[in-house]
Structure 1
Amino acid sequence: MKSLFKLKWAVIAIAAVLASCSEDDPTPSYPALKGTFVISEGSYGNNNGAIGFYNDEVEENDLFNSVNGRILGDVVQDFTVVDTLGFIVANNSQKVEVVRMRDFVSVATLDDAELSYPRFVKQATENTIYISNGSFAGQVLVYNIETLELTGNIAVGNGPEMMVKVGDKMYVANSGGWDVDNTISVIDITEGKVIKTITVGQASVTMKADKDNNLWVYSKGSEMDVNWNYTNPQIFKVNTITDEVTKSYNIGKTLYSWGSNLLTTSDDGYVYYFADATYKMGINDEELPVEAWTSTVYYGIEINPENGNVYCMDAINNEVVIMDADDASVISSLTETATYPRSVVFSY
Structure 2
Amino acid sequence: MIIKLLKTMKAIKQYSFFILIFLSTALSACRKDLQVIPEEQVGVIPADPSRQLKGFYLVNEGNMNMNKASLDYMDFSTGVYRRNIYNQTNPAQINGLGDVANDVGIYGSKLYVVVNISNKVEVMDAKSGKRIQQINVTNPRYITFKDGKAYVSAYLGQVGVPDAPNGVVIQIDTNSLKEERRIEVGRQPEEMAIVGQKLYVANSGGYSPKDYDTRVSVIDLNSFSLVKNIEVAINLHRVKADKYGDIYVTSRGNYLNIHSKIFVIDTKTDLVKTRFDIGASNLVIDEDIAYFYGSEWSNSTGRFTLSYGMIDVKDEKILNKKFINDGTEANITVPYGITVDKYSKEVFVTDAKNYFSPGVLYCFDPSGKLKWKVVTGDIPAHFAMVYK
For normalisation by structure 2, the TM-score amounts to: 0.73
| Number of the residue aligned with 1:343 | 382
Paired residue for 1:184?
216
How far residue 310 of structure 1 moved from its aligned partner, in angstroms, is: 1.0
State the partner residue of 1:312: 349
Counterpart of 1:235?
262
- Aligned residue-pair number: 305
Identity among equivalent positions (%) equals 27
Q: Deviations over 1:164-188 (max 9, x none)?
A: 1111111111122313211111111
**Equivalent position SS for 2:41:** helix
1:110 aligns with one of 126, 135, 138: 135
* Paired residues of 2:38 and 2:88 also in contact (CA < 8 A): no
The residue number in structure 2 matching 1:208 is: 240
Shift of 1:306: 2.2
Q: TM-score, normalised by structure 1?
A: 0.80
Partner of 2:310: 280
Q: Which residue of 2 aligns with 1:300?
A: 337
Which is richer in helix?
2
Q: Which amino acid aligns with 1:330?
A: L
Contact 2:105 2:383 in 1 (8 A): no
State the Cα deviation string for residues 197-240 of structure 1 (Å, max 9, x = none): 11112111111112323111111112427xxxxx5111101112
Q: 1:119 Cα shift?
A: 0.6
CA distances 1:247-290 after superposition (whole Å, capped 9, x unpaired): 01222x6x7xxxx5x12212133442325311122124565457
Note the alpha carbon deviations across 1:284-309, whole angstroms, 9 max, x for none.
45654576554736112221212111
Contact preservation (8 Å) 1:264, 1:273:
no
Aligned to 1:20: none
Distance 1:88 1:75 in 2: 10
Counterpart of 1:331 in structure 2 is 371
Q: Which residue of 1 aligns with 2:249?
A: 217
State the SS of the aligned residue for 2:381: strand
- The answer to whether the 8 Å contact 1:206/1:217 transfers is yes
**Match in the other structure for 1:157:** 186
CA, structure 1 residues 3+199, in 2 after alignment: closer, same or farther (shift >3 Å)? same
Alpha-carbon distance change, 51 to 325 in structure 1, aligned in 2, over 3 angstroms: same
Task: Give the letter for the 1:312 counterpart.
Answer: V
Q: In structure 2, what is the equivalent of residue 100 of structure 1?
A: 125
1:198 corresponds to 2:230: yes
In structure 2, list runs of 5 or more residues that go unmatched: 1-36, 44-52, 157-163, 296-305
> Which residue pairs with 1:24 in the alignment?
none
2:265 partner SS: strand
State the 1:105 CA deviation: 1.1
Pick closer, same or farther for the CA change 1:203–1:223 going to 2, 3 Å. same
Once the 2 structures are TM-superposed, how far is the Cα of residue 139 of structure 1 from its aligned partner?
A: 0.3
Deviates more, 1:140-149 or 1:290-299: 290-299
Per the alignment, in what secondary structure is the counterpart of residue 65 of structure 1?
helix
Instruction: Tell me the equivalent position of 2:5.
Output: none
Amino acid at match of 1:182: T
Asked if the contact 1:271–1:283 (Cα under 8 Å) also holds between the matched residues in 2, the reply is: no
Q: Distance in 1 between matches of 2:204 and 2:85?
A: 30
Classify 1:7/1:155 alpha carbon distance in 2 versus 1 (closer, same or farther; 3 Å).
same
Task: Please give the alpha-carbon distance, in whole angstroms, between the structure 1 residues aligned to 2:248 and 2:290.
Answer: 11
Kept in 1, the 8 Å contact 2:244–2:314? The answer is: no
CA pair 181-298 structure 1, distance change in 2 beyond 3 A:
same
Distance in 2 separating the partners of 1:304 and 1:312: 12
1:129-188 Cα offsets, whole Å, 9 max, x none, are 111001641101122222222221111111111111111111111122313211111111
Deviates more, 1:336-345 or 1:135-144: 135-144
**Corresponding residue SS for 2:377:** coil
Aligned AA (2:232): V
C-alpha distance in structure 2 between counterparts of 1:65 and 1:264, whole Å: 29
In structure 2, distance between residues paired with 1:3 and 1:42: 17
| Separation in structure 2 between the aligned mates of residue 5 and residue 82 of structure 1, nearest angstrom | 26
Q: Distance in 1 between matches of 2:234 and 2:292?
A: 20
The answer on whether the counterparts of 1:41 and 1:49 sit within 8 Å (CA) in structure 2 is: yes
SS in 2 for 1:36: strand
Query: Higher Cα Rg: structure 1 or 2?
Result: 2
Structure 1 distance, partners of 2:190, 2:184, is 13
